[in-house]
Amino acid sequence: MIWWRKRWKAGRTRNYWNGVFKAEDVRIKSKSWFGILSSSNGVGGTKALRAWSSKKSYLGSPTVTTSKPTWTCTTQRKAARPNMLQIDTLPIKPSKPNMVNFRISRREFVSRAAMLTGGLTAGLRTAHANTQNPPLVNGLRAVFATDSHVMVDNRLRSEDGLKAALLAIENLKPKPELILFGGDLTHESPELDFPAAEQLIDRFLKVWKDHTDVPTFFTFGNHDLVGTKNATVNHEDPRFGKGLYRMRLELERNFYVFRKSGWRFIVLDDVLPEPDGSYVGQFVEEQLAFLRNELRADVQTPTVLCGHIPSVSVLPNLSINGETKANGAQFETPASLVAQNTSDLHQVLTETAGNVKLVLAGHLHHLEQIQIDGLSFINGGAICGNWWKGAQKGCPEGFMVLDLSSDGRVAAEYRSYGWRISDQSR
């Protein structure tokens, strides 16, 4: 049973509830939610104050069950100016009016352990895409972009939006050396037959190649599965499921590793199709073995992991995307929202001590950072925002800019690119 106590102090209301993560006086402004959480063990999920309900339905999805938590998560909420979400204060470069700013203190976003061992140098912040940063010294700039959801026949101007995002990436100063793409390149592929799916992915790739020359490394999203919800397609065709996109992206396998400027990047595939056309988030044993061997072979090089479905998130607990529900003494989160065997991933990271600094994901279309034992999990918003219908619960259309220092430090910033939705999207 979840219980609430309200206390009044200096005109502010503090709400207390049971949870698994602990947040120290997280100040939230505007109708948006943003998680700043830490934990000694990183297990389970929180039961949070119900936020604005999601438009997407996940009824009937498989669930992840966790045991009832035992300790407290605290939030504090007070009034603020419109269009501003602020968590404590950190001086940032001013952006254009009407852009959402996240001001985050080092104390609240970075644990002492992370600072001592070279984790994120500061908490997440946001800015407009044309914000300029000083050149990196002995470092690497990368972009994490995810969830473009390019639609058939340029519906909702999705191709135009992708072009605008790529233009903003091209104009970054300094320019990134690589792009990690977190999946869901296109939107309708699971419902399409093979010729239509081929046309859609080819349109995406043409836009991409015509508008950026930055080397790009892709992972699979659940919307990149071909024909899994189309009863007329041949399941034995090599294009079925992940086959077509793997061929078009010229991937030997769905997960792989590469290195750049003193950093190692491991691209994972945590989308597991089910026979009925649905999917769950799961790291299969073959992939975990690959990750274990790779990390054991080199425990020194700072490493970034990239997948699609988050391994850790509280967004379903806040009803920002999907919903975590209490079922007696259990909490149940659909396994289509968060990977169902994250504990297996965590065990690999712990036993190998492989110097993983950052775990990136998309899928939930919202900006989120969770810090656990010096490791930062970032869910990086979405290029398409709310599926090309505006911001997703306060998170604008955008992408992550990552400045990675040679000593293993990370500076992460979410850049909106000023997209304006069309009349047909309203």
- pTM flag (> 0.85): no
What are the structure tokens assigned to 423, written together? Answer: 């009349």
pLDDT of residue 391: 95
pLDDT of residue 272: 96
Other CB atoms within a 10 A radius of the CB of residue 111 amount to: 20
Q: Which domain holds residue 23?
A: 16-425
Quick one: which of 102, 220, 203, 93 has its CA closest to 158? Answer: 203
Which stretch of 14-18, 165-169, 377-381 has the lowest confidence by average pLDDT? 14-18
Q: Is the CB of residue 296 less than 8 Å from the CB of residue 264?
A: no
Question: In this structure, is residue 395 part of a structural domain?
Answer: yes
Rg for the chain (alpha carbons), in Å? 20
Question: In this structure, is residue 5 part of a structural domain?
Answer: no
In the predicted structure, residue 336 carries a pLDDT above the cut 60: yes
pLDDT of residue 134: 56
How many domains does the structure of the chain reveal?
A: 1
Q: Is the CB of residue 63 less than 8 Å from the CB of residue 335?
A: yes
**For the segment 343-371, what is each residue's pLDDT rounded down to a tens digit?**
999 999 999 999 999 999 999 999 999 99
Q: What percent of the chain has pLDDT over 90?
A: 60
CATH number at residue 392: 3.60.21.10
Question: In this structure, is residue 270 part of a structural domain?
Answer: yes
**For the segment 285-334, what is each residue's pLDDT rounded down to a tens digit?**
999 999 999 999 999 999 999 999 999 999 998 888 788 887 887 778 88
Q: Quick one: average pLDDT of 370-386? A: 94
Partners of 325 in beta bridges: 332
pLDDT of residue 331: 78
3-state class of 190 per DSSP? helix
pLDDT of residue 421: 85
Question: In this structure, is residue 8 part of a structural domain?
Answer: no
In the predicted structure, residue 9 carries a pLDDT above the cut 60: no
d(CA 145, CA 259): 18
pLDDT of residue 328: 81
pLDDT of residue 426: 58
3-state class of 135 per DSSP? coil
Question: In this structure, is residue 11 part of a structural domain?
Answer: no
pLDDT of residue 46: 35
